[in-house]
């Protein structure tokens, strides 16, 4: 088994956390006698500073030449809150998604007992929460026509979807539901939006191919409430790009630590794997970032490579560390390990 991994450390704590995932992947390669090679490339503010472009051509080439992309984080404060900035780090990420046809963003919302005290929800509400969001990633308002209308000093971002764009991610979500507890909830705003009505039509049609899966629908405003009131009701949630952006941030915080959550973006060709958290610039270089979200993203990459045993080995190693209270400062400020030490520890557990 040979795999080439393109590592895009990106900004802030990104390179530190991807370094830990590389350690763990190297340990997996040793344990299972795989050959993994790692190529590094620039993205985001780091790429703008070096080349003027948040996604340089060289990065795209290196990604094409790889079997999977491991991304740290993108974003830097100097570009935030500047509406006049022409280039932004986030454009690198959006172009990467479009270039590689990464139309399905998969964000598992798993909870861990050690984190219950950190959840903003009461323990009885968070217990047993385990769902996964399938967020459409290359359509909707993010990629629709956008612009300014000088005649009225206005602006617009158009939301458009076609049947094919809905179908392909819906099929992935139904397949996931079939592997899990066979419940799929489509989140939309079909009482107002035409695109949502298209989503419902297509998803209801596809549901016929998955008779074991129970399909439900929920308006997005209600879904935002239900994630707080009764998150345990969800299993697979399917939604369009911007609703998914907002709901996955909401869902991630109820687990008690956004630092632990991984994601996969997949589609036509190679996949990209990244933690849900951002670049956390205040922590950069301090060896305090939580590397588990990225390490668990590497596990999702292993799943995508069809190496489920290796993926499970990584997950078990992280669980062991959590159980033993070996965590980063965001989880326990009185007793914690550094980013690098946690990477070493998980690599060691993988090899044990
Ligand atoms: C995410 C992020 C991105 C998004 C930003 C950085 C463009 O919030 O991955 O959820 O909105 O998709
Ligand atoms: Mg987001």
**352 residues of the chain, pLDDT tens digit each:** 899 999 999 999 999 999 999 999 999 999 999 999 999 999 999 999 999 999 999 999 999 999 999 999 999 998 877 777 889 999 999 999 999 999 999 999 999 988 899 899 999 999 999 999 999 999 999 999 999 999 999 999 999 999 999 999 999 999 999 999 999 999 999 999 999 999 999 999 999 999 999 999 999 999 999 999 999 999 999 999 999 999 999 999 999 988 999 999 999 889 999 999 999 999 999 999 999 999 999 999 999 999 999 999 999 999 999 999 999 999 999 999 999 999 999 999 999 9
CA 327 – CA 274 distance, rounded (Å): 19
Would you state the structure tokens that stand for residue 320, as one six-digit string? 């062991």
**CA 208 to centroid of ligand 2, rounded, Å:** 32
115 CB near ligand 1 (under 6 Å): no
245 CB near ligand 1 (under 6 Å): yes
Would you state the structure tokens that stand for residue 170, as one six-digit string? 């819906």
90 CB near ligand 1 (under 6 Å): yes
User: How do 104-110 and 68-73 pair as beta strands?
Assistant: unpaired
Contact 4, 67 (CB under 8 A): yes
CA 217 – CA 237 distance, rounded (Å): 9
The pLDDT of residue 80 is 79
CB atoms inside a 10 Å sphere around CB 67: 17
93 CB near ligand 1 (under 6 Å): yes
The pLDDT of residue 164 is 98
Nearest CA to ligand 1 atom 5: 90
User: How do 271-275 and 262-266 pair as beta strands?
Assistant: antiparallel
**CA 242 to centroid of ligand 2, rounded, Å:** 8
End-to-end CA distance of the chain: 21
The pLDDT of residue 269 is 87
Which among 289, 310, 290 has a CA at the least distance from the CA of 301? Answer: 310
Quote the DSSP letter at residue 113: G
SS3 95: helix
Which residues are annotated as catalytic?
142, 189, 221, 245, 249
The pLDDT of residue 344 is 98
**Which ligand places an atom closest to the C-alpha of 274?**
1
List C-alpha distances in Å: 212 to 83, 178, 345.
Answer: 48, 7, 41
Would you state the structure tokens that stand for residue 197, as one six-digit string? 């009505």
Quote the DSSP letter at residue 129: -
CA 54 – CA 302 distance, rounded (Å): 27
The pLDDT of residue 279 is 96
Contact 75, 11 (CB under 8 A): yes
**CA 60 to centroid of ligand 1, rounded, Å:** 19
Nearest-atom index, ligand 1, CA of 263: 9
**CA 208 to centroid of ligand 1, rounded, Å:** 32
250 CB near ligand 1 (under 6 Å): no
Which among 104, 233, 261, 265 has a CA at the least distance from the CA of 173? Answer: 104
**CA 78 to centroid of ligand 1, rounded, Å:** 17
Nearest-atom index, ligand 1, CA of 274: 9
The pLDDT of residue 34 is 98
The pLDDT of residue 121 is 97
CB atoms inside a 10 Å sphere around CB 265: 25
The pLDDT of residue 82 is 76
102 CB near ligand 1 (under 6 Å): no
Nearest-atom index, ligand 1, CA of 245: 10
Size of the chain, expressed as the number of residues it contains: 352
The model carries a pTM of: 0.95
């Amino acid at each position: 088994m040979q795999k080439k991994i393109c590592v895009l450390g990106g900004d802030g704590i990104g390179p530190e956390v991807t370094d830990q995932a590389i350690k763990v992947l190297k340990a997996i390669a040793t344990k299972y006698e795989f050959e993994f090679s790692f190529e590094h490339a620039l993205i985001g503010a780091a790429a703008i500073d070096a080349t003027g472009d948040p996604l340089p051509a060289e990065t795209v080439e290196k990604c094409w030449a790889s079997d999977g992309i491991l991304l740290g984080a993108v974003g830097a404060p100097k570009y935030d809150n500047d509406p006049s900035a022409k280039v932004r780090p986030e454009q690198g990420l959006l172009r990467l998604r479009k270039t590689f046809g990464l139309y399905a963003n998969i964000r598992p919302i798993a909870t861990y007992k050690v984190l219950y005290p950190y959840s903003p929800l009461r323990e009885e509400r968070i217990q047993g929460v385990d769902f996964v969001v399938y967020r459409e990633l290359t359509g909707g308002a993010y990629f629709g026509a956008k612009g300014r209308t000088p005649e009225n000093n206005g602006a617009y971002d158009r939301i458009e979807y076609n049947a094919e764009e809905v179908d392909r991610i819906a099929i992935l979500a139904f397949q996931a539901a079939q592997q899990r507890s066979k419940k799929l909830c489509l989140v939309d705003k079909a009482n107002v939006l035409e695109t949502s009505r298209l989503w419902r039509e297509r998803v209801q049609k596809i549901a016929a191919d998955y008779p074991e899966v129970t399909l439900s629908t929920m308006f997005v405003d209600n879904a935002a409430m239900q994630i707080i009131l009764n998150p345990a009701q969800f299993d697979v949630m399917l939604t369009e790009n911007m609703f998914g952006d907002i709901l996955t941030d909401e869902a991630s915080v109820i687990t008690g630590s956004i630092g632990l959550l991984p994601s996969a973006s997949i589609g036509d060709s190679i996949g990209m794997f990244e933690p849900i958290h951002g670049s956390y610039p205040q922590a950069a270089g301090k060896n305090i970032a939580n590397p588990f979200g990225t390490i668990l993203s590497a596990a999702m990459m292993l799943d995508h490579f069809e190496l489920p045993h290796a993926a499970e080995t990584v997950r078990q190693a992280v669980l062991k560390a959590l159980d033993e209270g070996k965590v980063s400062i965001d989880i326990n400020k009185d007793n914690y390990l550094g980013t690098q030490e946690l990477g070493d520890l998980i690599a060691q557990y993988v090899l044990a």
